[in-house]
Structure 1
Amino acid sequence: MKTHILFDFDGTLVDSAPAILNCFECVLQAHGLDACRSIDASLIGPPLRQTLEILSGQSDPAVLDALGASFKDIYDTQACLQTPAYAACQDVLTQLHAQGFTLGIATNKRLLPTRRIIAALGWEALFAEVFASDSLPQRYTDKSGMIAALLHDFEIAPAAALYVGDTEADGRAAAANDVAFWPVAWGYGRFSAQEQPLQTMQELLERLVSA
């Protein structure tokens, strides 16, 4: 019996790509740098510093610090508030919450913009647990560790949890913690038909009810 439904955020609950990609372009332009690769949705998901290093081709910590500071200033103050939820998320999350499921988030996004988006969407009362890449940096450095910390802190048995995400990395992080993983078809990752990705948020609700 699943009692805790944990979600990835970007690409699973919200379409954050347009705002994030625009910020990457603005940051590189502000620092007089050219992108080392195309700025597209495949950049969404990994931690910010890792993505900036790949995108800029820079490895100097001071340069990456400056790029990260510029990104945070642009994104946190304005851009993140333009992030829309995917279709039916509001209704399904509300129904899951009303049916007694405990909802949580485990995301590689930073905590400040994650919470600002949640507030802008009116979702604050829906999520009991929100863990982000920088929530507990002394305890984890990746999503596997993040999910482990969340399970530990809220005393959640792995068998009672389900992780919903849009990338293979999400699936590996769940598997590392013996947590069931349900992929979604609408995010930034790609899954085969054999992996049976959810086609809609409503299907998530239907599967849980029939399980």
Structure 2
Amino acid sequence: MRQELGSVLFDLDGTLLDTAPDMHAALVTLMAEYDRAPLPFDAVRNHVSHGSQALVALGFPDAEPAFAEHLKARYLEIYARDLCLATALFPGLSELLEACEARGWSLGVVTNKPGWLTDPLLDALGLRSRLAAVVSGDTLPQRKPAPEPMWLAARQTGLAPAQHCYWGDAERDIAAGRAAGMPTLIANWGYIDAQQEPEHWGADGALDHPGDFWAWYRTALRPEAGLAS
């Protein structure tokens, strides 16, 4: 029998926050510095969860490894400068966070984004003070899909791993949550490209909208409770 939930943890890019507009803008700026035509937003959006290295590879597929590292460093400089111009919570997540808080649940973020980007981004959106757990990609030697970041988040909230539900939009998110002993959900609004097969990730469920969580919670975890959302 599952333990009662007391926390929801989120991946950051593509799950909690729509960072794609600002990450795309940084790539456009970088490409312009090298007189390259910009890639359209739709060609970039679903690659954002793979990080800066993947985005640079999109814009500069012919770059040699050493030059690609230089481009990545420059990309991160540009992105950090304009980190939160268009980034926002995905629709429905503000209400979801408030509903979780009303229940007395903890909230948290476990991301592979480095802390020097994660922390100012959360601060800019007024989210940091609402989160009981924040684990970034450089907080520990291990990153997702390893379970260690998930376990650290659980220690930060003071709850058992099984009392957390982890939401993500990449296979590594689901793998990390499962390995940590947490129920996992796929955020279908996230950055999932056509080559991925989320139906094979082994998640406990998938959400088309954040508000769908409460129906999943009632049927999957509390079928006997009939709780109102």
Q: What is the CA–CA distance in structure 2 between the aligned matches of 1:196 and 1:153, rounded to whole Å?
A: 25
Q: Deviations over 1:116-150 (max 9, x none)?
A: 232222222211111111223xx214342422443
Secondary structure, in 3 states, of the residue corresponding to 1:197? strand
Which amino acid letter does the alignment assign opposite residue 142 of structure 2? Y
Task: Name structure 2 gaps, 5 residues minimum.
Answer: 223-229
- TM-score, normalization by structure 1: 0.80
Q: Give the match for residue 132 of structure 1.
A: 136
Secondary structure, in 3 states, of the residue corresponding to 2:128? coil
Are 1:8 and 2:27 counterparts? no
Alpha-carbon contact 1:7-1:104 (below 8 Å) kept: yes
Q: Deviations over 1:156-195 (max 9, x none)?
A: 4222121011223321221222221011221122645x97
Matched length: 206
Q: What is the CA–CA distance in structure 2 between the aligned matches of 1:143 and 1:154, rounded to whole Å?
A: 20
Tell me which of 138, 144, 149 is aligned to 1:142: 144
> What are the equivalent positions in structure 2 for 1:1-211 lying under 5 Å apart?
1-31=4-34, 39-49=43-53, 51-53=55-57, 56-57=60-61, 58=63, 60-61=65-66, 63-136=67-140, 139-144=141-146, 145-151=148-154, 156-189=159-192, 191-192=198-199, 196-208=205-217, 211=222
CA-atom RMSD, angstroms? 3.0
Task: Name structure 1 gaps, 5 residues minimum.
Answer: none
- TM-score, normalization by structure 2: 0.75
- Residue 102 (structure 1) shift: 1.0
Look at both structures and tell me which one has the larger radius of gyration over its CA atoms. Answer: 2
Q: What is the CA–CA distance in structure 1 between the aligned matches of 2:205 and 2:179, rounded to whole Å?
A: 20
User: How many percent of aligned residue pairs carry the same amino acid?
Assistant: 23
Alpha-carbon contact 2:10-2:109 (below 8 Å) kept: yes
- Residue 106 (structure 1) shift: 0.7
Which amino acid letter does the alignment assign opposite residue 81 of structure 2? T
- Residue 95 (structure 1) shift: 2.0
- The verdict on how the C-alpha distance between 1:80 and 1:103 changes in structure 2, with shifts beyond 3 A counting, is same
- The verdict on how the C-alpha distance between 1:60 and 1:168 changes in structure 2, with shifts beyond 3 A counting, is closer
